[in-house]
A and B are shown apart, each in its own frame.
Chain A
């Protein structure tokens, strides 16, 4: 004779485990989204603070600009967003809204960086990187690895990454300013576009700005 109760109890326990996993996963993912949002808020405040400081520059000199002038959290924020983009456990809606804010923050940071370099004569050390989803760009993931490694190697280098096909007017404007072709991955260094996958070594070799950065880094480390 079969004891149906045992099956029922086993089923209930299994269902509870699954249910708990679903609730816990949703709770933890919400926490992660909150985490990213709070970083975005901090970056926004950082940028606002930098812009304010920049506005005050008219009354002061470039020497007053400290090393923490630009937000340091843009890089980690990008890593987190990229992780969220690649994990299905995040809702598409959340990721989309976070990406939108992130791209706008990047552009604001980029503009500030540009103005700073113009006004204070600082050597520009930033790269604009245009990528797309794996279906539309096979090598973009690899290019991402190369740029991450490059940024790890040169902490002063700022990499601004943009989803080429993302529906955002500001990105379209950037694309038209720099006349970026849809041959992805694409990077812009000092207004100069470079297309296709490149290794860290290749980037250091081919991009003069990086060579200078490399030389500056090795001088600083001595």
Chain B
């Protein structure tokens, strides 16, 4: 049994290490492309664009969200906004109506039916070449649309995803998420280059409107419609790219309960959508997306659980040992136990590989912060992320696997 567990552990480590190496090779390949995007100063075609904002009980943030769209550095005659109230029970509609006098703002109201129904209703009114969505708890930076629209100069590009950052982190949980989002910015930029993005996030992904005309509107998809749309596009070989310089800020959960619920929904959504699109797996037709990214993203849900459980087990057994010592010896033992001799450093294969993997993780984190913020700076979020994230991830991984295995419905909030 122990040998079997060790085998799985080594396999998981190999897969993780392989993925990190693969990401770093990809980074070296696309580094010049990234630098070029930063320096880009060529002519831009201002494609007419509609931004849809679906809202459900977002009275606190909606005003700032809409204002951030109105402040976009983009010709206003090329920008339309559709605000959809999805049957809010608070003052959201009243807040929306404050924008009714703007000539490029349209307000729709409907009975509650879920985010995708609100976006679909708005899509029926879209007449522009490009369309995007902005969640009502997110805010765009003024340059975001410009950075995104540049990519549509390539006629093959059908959708562009932004880089999402945490809006004004206040507590430890949000600082952890802030670093995690920076990691995601790096990951998505690499996946974009590989043609393997599996989510077009709610905050400010911009599509060619024809995508919806040709592939259909959003549909119910395990509470993760943004993932389903990206997978559907990938299935039809529609190109999705990422613009790391298009910054969008989103409000993140500030309680552990809220975070676990959100992440469990994402993991659950990924697993179930991946199952719905299982024909993509190991299909050469879908390139890196089908042959590598989808299989490894699915596998990583399990391997990370195995690795995290190992870390927790080691942490637990060490704590237990210290407790045992305390029980029998009180405080009559040396803290430096057994001693600071190099002999007592664990030099097994596992620790050496883990140290290497951890070093690569630090390199990727460094590159992520640099890509996200322009330069590397040590922050408290980094430390919280490195030391606490491992203990949090199992909470939603286990919940997502449990919900999937027992077909339990997940809720949005």
A-side residues, CB < 8 A to B, are 1-2, 6-7, 9-11, 13-14, 17-18, 20-22, 24-25, 28-29, 32, 35, 76, 79-80, 83, 87-89, 141-143, 145-146, 148-150, 152-153, 197-201
Contact = CB atoms under 8 A, between A and B. Distances in A.
B14 interface: yes
A206 to B, nearest CB: 14
B14 A14 contact: yes
A200 B344 contact: no
Nearest to B329: A149
Q: DSSP majority for the A interface?
A: helix
B21 A200 contact: no
A84 B345 CA distance: 11
Interface stretch (B102-110, B141-149, B330-338, B380-388): B330-338
A32 B287 contact: no
A89 B349 contact: yes
B346 A145 contact: no
B291 interface: yes
5 A-B pairs with the lowest CB-CB distances in the bound complex, closest first: A149-B329, A89-B348, A28-B347, A21-B352, A149-B332
5 contacts: A7-B292, A10-B25, A11-B18, A146-B329, A149-B328
B5 to A, nearest CB: 12
Interface in B341-366: 341, 343-344, 346-349, 352-353, 356
B310 interface: no
B329 A145 contact: yes
A142 B324 contact: yes
Contact of B347 (A9, A18, A20, A29): A29
Contacts, number: 106
A35 B342 CA distance: 11
A2 B284 contact: yes
B330 A1 contact: no
Contacts of B291: 2
A1 B287 contact: yes
Contacts of A2: 284, 287-288, 291
B22 A25 contact: no
B194 to A, nearest CB: 9
Contacts of B18: 10-11, 14
Contacts of B100: none
Contacts of A20: 352
Contacts of A146: 328-329
Contacts of A32: 343, 347
A152 B332 contact: yes
B348 A87 contact: yes
A25 B352 contact: yes
A150 B287 CA distance: 65
Nearest to A6: B25
Contact of A199 (B26, B328, B337, B344): B328
Nearest to B26: A6
B171 interface: no
Contacts of B284: 2
Interface in B283-299: 284, 287-288, 291-292
Nearest to B289: A2
Contacts of A11: 18
B339 A76 contact: yes
Contacts of B45: none
Contacts of A14: 14, 17-18, 21
Given A6-B25, A76-B339, A79-B338, A145 B325 contact: yes
A157 to B, nearest CB: 13
Contact of B344 (A17, A24, A83, A198): A83
Contacts of A1: 287
A89 B349 CA distance: 8
A22 B25 CA distance: 24
A199 B324 contact: no
A153 B331 CA distance: 11
Contact of A141 (B22, B287, B324): B324
A201 B330 contact: yes
B327 interface: yes
A10 B26 CA distance: 10
Interface string B1-34: 0000000000000100110011001100100000
Contact of A197 (B17, B325, B328): B328
Contacts of A21: 349, 352-353, 356
A218 to B, nearest CB: 15
Contact of B21 (A10, A28, A35, A198): A10
Given A24-B352, A35-B343, A145-B328, 11 more contacts: A6-B25, A6-B26, A10-B18, A13-B21, A17-B356, A21-B353, A89-B348, A145-B325, A199-B329, A199-B330, A200-B329
A28 B351 CA distance: 13
B188 to A, nearest CB: 19
B25 A9 contact: yes
Contacts of B343: 32, 35, 80, 83
A35 B332 CA distance: 28
Nearest to B287: A2
Contacts of A201: 330
Report which residue of B14, B17, B328, B356 has the largest number of chain A beta carbons within 10 angstroms of its beta carbon: B328
B8 to A, nearest CB: 15
B328 A25 contact: no
Interface string B291-330: 1100000000000000000000000000001001101111
